[in-house]
Homo-oligomer: A and B are copies of this chain.
Amino acid sequence: MRLLEYQGKELFAKAGIPVPKGRVTASVDEAVTIMREAPAPSVVKAQVLIGGRGKAGGIKFCSNAEDVKEPARAILGMRIANAQNPQGEVAKRVWIEQRLDIDKEMYLSITVDRASKRPIVIASSVGGMDIEEVAHTNPGAIVKRTIDPATGYWPYIGRSIAKEAAMPLGVMAQFSSILGKLYDLFFSAGALLLEINPLAITKDGKLIASDAKVEIDDNGLFRHPEFDAWKTAGEEDPLKARAVKAGLGENNYVGLSGDVGIIGNGAGLVMATLDAVTSAGGKPANFLDVGGGARADLMRDAVDIVTSNPNVKSLFINIFGGITRGDEVANGLVAALQGGSWSTDKLVIRLTGTNEKEGRAVLEQHGIAAVETMNEGARVAVDLAKK
């Protein structure tokens, strides 16, 4: 679960990390009120998860109740897109915060380092731009340090990072304190990513989080009812919301831009299926893993969800029988499909595992195209989509 900037800053503020004063709103009128109550040079920022909002015109300036109207009007409802996500995202809220008098922009984040199995701090005295860009143009300016949860964070760690990153000596203690609070927040909030970019040094020498990028681990959300109000699962993708509602995990449905609907059991198998469809010249419309068991009712929901995507032109169901026998799986699939509205004409099922031949026979008896291999199924599905 990713947080919008204003949510992240609220989280930071509660953790004692300095953030600029600001308020969020979804209306121009309220934006005017906000500026009337605190007339000061301010920034109006589109609240979207997508990157590149600045370039897209999602960040504008104002200084009083009058001149906030135009930027608020312009940004609220604006669709912001970028190269990775051409569909983009609509800004439903703006965050209006007081402008900082910034002397220098730095970078700080904590995320999970899979190789060391530890949290990793990434810091740079060069910030305000994409850290991968810094890594590319100025790799020496980036300091990475993993922290052993067993010994935890101690202020000297922050001081040595500040020193190594050649941050100004005057902010060493502040930096160490902010990093300590960020580290505590990383665990207490169950975060996968806490990023402050830029971490600004103001003209009067204070460190302040000028932006906030936060991702919370979905698996840990059950411990955090306080985030319930911020859950936007599927707000951008109603099909994902339906998948979650049907009992699938947060990651089991992923919407994609193609036209071949895909359902399989097991994440690795589904990924391999997507790859097979792509190899066969097709474009997957989605990733959907029904899980190891593949119960009939869940399979029916899965078919309904995938096929209600108007882009879907064909459906490829790829099941490995596993513990259950192939004929039993086939009977389950038949039951699932008979109740649904999807035509068996645009459907191909690949079924393998024990008793796979018997399984395929059951499917064919019910007029369902059954194939033997994943690659064959992919080819058929791509052909069906092109018809």
User: Which residues of A pack against B, CB within 8 Å?
Assistant: 150-151
Contacts and interface: CB of A to CB of B under 8 A. Distances in A.
A151 B149 CA distance: 8
The quantity of this chain's copies bound in the complex is: 2
Contacts of A150: 150-151
2 contacts: A150-B150, A150-B151
A151 B151 CA distance: 9
A169 to B, nearest CB: 26
A118 to B, nearest CB: 14
A150 B154 CA distance: 13
Contacts of A151: 150
A198 B150 CA distance: 33
A150 to B, nearest CB: 4
Nearest to A152: B150
A107 B150 CA distance: 29
Nearest 2 interchain pairs by C-beta: A150-B150, A150-B151
A381 B36 CA distance: 78
A97 to B, nearest CB: 30
A181 to B, nearest CB: 15
A152 to B, nearest CB: 8
A277 B151 CA distance: 47
Nearest to A148: B150
A150 B147 CA distance: 13
A226 to B, nearest CB: 16
A150 B149 CA distance: 8
Nearest to A151: B150
A352 to B, nearest CB: 41
A150 B150 CA distance: 4
A273 to B, nearest CB: 39
A151 B150 CA distance: 6
A151 to B, nearest CB: 6
A183 to B, nearest CB: 15
A151 B152 CA distance: 10
A180 to B, nearest CB: 14
A216 to B, nearest CB: 22
